[in-house]
Chains A and B, each alone.
Chain A
Amino acid sequence: MTTPVLALEGVRKEFGGVVAIERIDLELHAGEIVALVGDNGAGKSTLVKIIAGIHPPTSGRIMMDGSPISFPNPRAAQEHGIQVVYQDLALADQQPVYMNMFLGSELVTGPFRRLNRKRMIAETETLVRELDVRIPSAKATIRELSGGQRQGVAIARATHRARKLVLMDEPTAALGVAETMRVEAIIRSLKERALAILLISHSLDQVFRLADRICVLRHGVQIGVKRSSETSSNEIVAMITGLA
């Protein structure tokens, strides 16, 4: 087997003596979608925050491409090719799509370092076309878009910047059925880009539609990791709830 893009080895997190995550060992490979499931308070979001560099782990190691690494802040994680798609989107509503796409890493041109709007618009249009995110225009402001279109933009942005890993925290939680399907199609297409994807979702149907492997957490304890093709919804529910 190839070296995993990211590997968690015995990662543990305590907040002032309260154990949020007991111990997690998990490998994420390029071109693979791993789902993280568990009830509220199981530690899913904490784990995402550890990988994103928001919280440091109390103990354990994070390995990237086989070598140990630590992220003192979110910027460090981003610099190592990790991007997060947040549940609450994190888009600037009153700015156009292309500015959101390049937010914080805007393209400039000329001696006065003028914003290169033309190129940002062109690159945004290429990207949304490739990912089949259907928005009216790269120049549309975010507030003109539907929830699904916004999530599409957020995912496109993460994809554009991530070289290694995209973390998604409930990417379809706020969406209707048709929009969820669109976003799922976009997520599926990310596999072809050789990115590793860690997906948090409360919808087991969605998890089975998308994920290659499923990691179950309960009260901060890793109950197990199963291949989706070798398990069933019932088994996962039993693992989540602890009721066999």
Chain B
Amino acid sequence: MTSALRGIDPSRYVVHVGFLLIFALFAVVLKDDGFLTSTNLLNIAQQTAPVTVMAVGMVFVFTAGEIDLSIGSVVAISALIAATVMREYAWPLAVVAGLGTGIGIGLLNGALVAYARLPSFLVTLATMGLLAGVARWLTNLQSVPITQNLFNNLFGAGRLAGIPSLVFWTVAVVGIGHFIHRETRFGAHVHATGDNARAARAIGIRIEQVRLAVLVISATTAALAGLLYAGRLHGARYTLGETDLLTVIAAVIVGGTHLNGGIGTVTGALIGSLLMGMLNNGLILMGLSVSEQMMVRGLIILAAVALTLREPNR
């Protein structure tokens, strides 16, 4: 390796190269199917918004060496609570209630992991199931429509200067997330905690607070994703977010974040999420059946993960 490349981990850029390759492939193959139209590209960005937002939260969790399986259930329950509040009250209160629900669940997950010292895998597996049940029970499996149009425009279907509001949300969350993760002391402590928790503790980093914080961040992004779904669909339903967990994890890992902690990037997760959305979109335009889509997507994720996670010298 030349000295200019020292310290640059080539596996970190697999996702960028992969993204460009698949984009180029679709652009050529699907030229006549409208892949490259601005409508379609904005559509991809819009559809991936909730997954991208959750992926940003998950980058923090993975970097700290933890995992959050409960995000899908948080999406549903926050959206349902926000929609229910909006039946009686103005939408800002519903937003506070929805996000507050996420923060509360994050605090619960975080306290059990950080202070009761339970593994995050088991804690969030349990809360995932628990909250999925609560979401079903809360509304008797009924969907809750949202008729406050300002909310629907702000969090979902609205546009400003031709750009969908969901794109603004994505940019904001990715930008803030990237800054905190990469440029702040807290971000450095998240990395150190996931890399070597004992060393971090010995040096005086409060690793319990770090673990609590990352799970709160993750649940909060999931709650925001719930609001984005609710805004786009003009209502909430217990099925929201049901299938997102694996997509989020795939996006984050394909984006170069390590499941074992210590290494992660928010921008990589953004590209990973867009890649997932683009695959979805392209495979549909290609006319593949749902089962074919699932198989192709699985193979591509497998290839990307294999390329990204091959550990050097270990």
Which residues of A line the B interface, CB within 8 A?
A: 74-75, 78, 84, 86, 89-96, 99, 103-106, 108, 112-115, 136-137, 139-141, 144
Contacts and interface: CB of A to CB of B under 8 A. Distances in A.
11 contacts: A92-B191, A95-B191, A95-B262, A99-B191, A103-B200, A108-B185, A112-B179, A114-B183, A114-B184, A137-B6, A144-B7
B195 interface: yes
B208 to A, nearest CB: 14
B196 A93 contact: yes
Given A104-B204, A137-B6, A137-B7, A92 B195 contact: yes
Contact of B7 (A74, A84, A103, A139): A139
A94 B7 CA distance: 11
B196 A104 contact: no
Given A92-B191, A140-B6, 17 more contacts: A78-B204, A90-B198, A90-B199, A92-B200, A93-B196, A94-B191, A94-B262, A95-B191, A103-B192, A104-B189, A104-B200, A105-B204, A108-B184, A112-B179, A112-B184, A113-B184, A139-B7
B259 to A, nearest CB: 13
Interface size class of B (residues with CB under 8 A): 20 to 34
A95 B9 CA distance: 12
Contacts of B7: 96, 137, 139-141, 144
A101 B102 CA distance: 36
Closest 5 CB pairs of A and B: A92-B195, A90-B199, A94-B262, A104-B203, A104-B204
Consensus secondary structure, chain B interface: helix
A21 to B, nearest CB: 22
A109 to B, nearest CB: 10
A95 B6 contact: no
B205 interface: yes
Contacts of B134: none
Contact of A91 (B189, B191, B196, B263): B196
Nearest to A108: B185
Given A74-B204, A90-B199, A92-B200, A113 B192 contact: no
B204 A75 contact: yes
Nearest to B262: A94
B195 A106 contact: no
Given A74-B202, A104-B203, A141-B7, A95 B195 contact: yes
B202 A86 contact: yes
A103 B179 contact: no
Nearest to A86: B202
A187 to B, nearest CB: 20
